[in-house]
Structure 1
Amino acid sequence: MARRKKIYEGKAKILYEGPEPGTYVQYFKDDATAFNAEKKAVIEGKGVLNNRLSEFFMTGLNTIGVPTHFLKRLNMREQLIRQVEIIPLEVIVRNFAAGSIAKRLGLEEGAALPRPIVEFSYKEDSLGDPLVTEEYIIAFGWASQQDLDDMIALALRVNDFLAGVMYGVGIKLIDFKIEIGRVYEGDFMRLVVADEISPDSCRLWDVKTGQKLDKDVFRRDLGNLTDAYTEVAKRLGVMPSNVTHATKPTLIN
């Protein structure tokens, strides 16, 4: 097999040149990072789980008419995606107080917010991905007002979908972040959900016990991260319910 051309390597994924023009192959690594990569580890099986879970969520969004960059899963660690122009922002949707918003506003962790809150952060690790206002975004040309309106609408549709799916399996969607990219088709441009949707990019708590089933397990040293992600996959039907440990997961095709 010919060696593929690497396009980009991030903290959790690698992008390779795809088999057709306008496509990439996205490879999910086992690397885990927190606090802007100040804390690092390699957690066996994490990339496999995130690949499969992201496929599950992206497929579901495509099915309900929310456009994404996802085309198909290729194997246990790779998926074929559409090439997009990533807007340099993280779009954060919060349903309950946790993480930075709880610290900034002195809110009790887990407190329900009056309504879903959408925030934007500028994607720049060296600056700690700072929060930015819509005024900043428009002034610096990262997105237009129409783009922002469409991004908020997309993010809230993703929130409705994810929150419903998760609640159906006994998981509370605390918050999540997504990236959004531009796809050009002739003179027409549209926005699509890109990057990934996985427990790496969401806060997920068990509805009854409050047990954390997301990357906070790694951030706060609360246990085995692979076990937490495996529990999410099992509840969603991505893995057989009789699997007890997923260091080397066996997933349903």
Structure 2
Amino acid sequence: MARRKKIYEGKAKILYEGPEPGTLVQYFKDDATAFNAEKRAVIEGKGVLNNRLSEFFMTGLGQIGIPTHFIRRLNMREQLIRQVEIIPLEIIVRNVAAGSMAKRLGIEEGTQLPRPIVEFSYKDDALGDPLVPEEYIIAFGWASQQDMDDIVSLALRVNDWMSGVMYGVGIKLVDFKIEVGRVWDNEFPRLLLADEISPDSCRLWDIETGQKLDKDVFRRDLGNLTDAYTEVAKRLGVMPSNVTHRPKPTLIN
């Protein structure tokens, strides 16, 4: 079997050359990182869960007319996706004050915001992904004013759908981040939702108990990350409700 060409490796995924022009294979790793990769671990099964959950979210968003880079899932860890030109921004949508926002503004974590707030950070690990205003984005040519209007509209539509889906299974969508990429139809650019949507990129709290079901479990040492992600997958029907995470078998001499 021919060895695939690696295009890019990030903290949680690897991109390989796809089988057809304009496509890539996105591989989900078990690596977990936090605090700009200062904290690292390998969490068995995380990549499989994120692959399945991202497929669920991308498919659902596509069905309501939000264009995404997702084509299909290939196996337990890989997806076939469209190759896009990534806009160098993380788009963050916040419904509840938590994490860096609560710390930055001195707001008690868990405070409901008066409306969804959209923030932007510049994708650069060395700089700590700093928050940037729209003026910077437009001035430095990362995106046009029309792009920004479209990105905000897309992010709020994602928020509406995701909030409803998660509420239906007893989970509060606290916040999430997405990435957006461009594809070109002849000479006209089109924006697509890219990267992934998974508990790695969302804050998810149980509505009744406040239990965290996202990467804060790893950030704050609150328990088993795979168990938290499995709970989200079970509630959404992505995995059977009787599935439990099993450790690797131990060889007995």
TM-score normalized by the length of structure 1: 0.97
SS at match of 1:180: strand
**Cα distance between partner residues in 2 of 1:106 and 1:68:** 35
Q: In structure 1, what is the equivalent of residue 182 of structure 2?
A: 182
**Cα distance between partner residues in 1 of 2:246 and 2:73:** 19
Is 1:160 aligned with 2:183? no
**Cα distance between partner residues in 2 of 1:95 and 1:17:** 37
Query: 1:110 is matched by which residue type in structure 2?
Result: G
Task: List aligned pairs for 1:200-219, cutoff 5 A.
Answer: 200-219=200-219
Is 1:61 aligned with 2:61? yes
Deviates more, 1:182-191 or 1:23-32: 182-191
Cα deviation digits, residues 87-112 of structure 1 (max 9, x gap): 00000000000011101111110110
**Cα distance between partner residues in 2 of 1:246 and 1:65:** 37
Query: 2:24 is matched by which residue type in structure 1?
Result: Y
SS at match of 2:61: helix
Q: Is the 8 A contact 1:230 1:246 kept in 2?
A: no
Q: In structure 2, what is the equivalent of residue 44 of structure 1?
A: 44
Q: In structure 2, what is the equivalent of residue 221 of structure 1?
A: 221
Task: List aligned pairs for 1:1-253, cutoff 5 A.
Answer: 1-245=1-245, 247=247
- Quick one: structure 1 residues 247 and 68, their matched pair in 2 at CA, closer, same or farther if it must change by over 3 Å? farther
- Quick one: structure 1 residues 113 and 246, their matched pair in 2 at CA, closer, same or farther if it must change by over 3 Å? farther
Cα deviation digits, residues 121-167 of structure 1 (max 9, x gap): 00000000000000100111100100000000000000001100000
**Residue 245 of structure 1: how far off its partner (Å):** 2.3
**Cα distance between partner residues in 2 of 1:125 and 1:244:** 35
Q: In structure 2, what is the equivalent of residue 251 of structure 1?
A: none
**Residue 189 of structure 1: how far off its partner (Å):** 1.3
Cα deviation digits, residues 30-70 of structure 1 (max 9, x gap): 00000000000000000000000000000001100000000
Q: Is the 8 A contact 1:93 1:116 kept in 2?
A: yes
Q: CA RMSD in A?
A: 0.8
Structure 2 residue runs of 5 or longer lacking an equivalent are: 249-253
SS at match of 1:158: helix
Number of equivalent positions = 248
Deviates more, 1:236-245 or 1:205-214: 236-245
Give the ranges of 4+ consecutive aligned residues of structure 1 lying more than 2 Å apart after TM superposition.
244-248
**Cα distance between partner residues in 2 of 1:114 and 1:231:** 29
**Residue 244 of structure 1: how far off its partner (Å):** 2.7
**Residue 187 of structure 1: how far off its partner (Å):** 1.7
**Residue 188 of structure 1: how far off its partner (Å):** 2.1
Q: Is the 8 A contact 1:226 1:247 kept in 2?
A: no
Query: 1:111 is matched by which residue type in structure 2?
Result: T
Structure 1 residue runs of 5 or longer lacking an equivalent are: 249-253
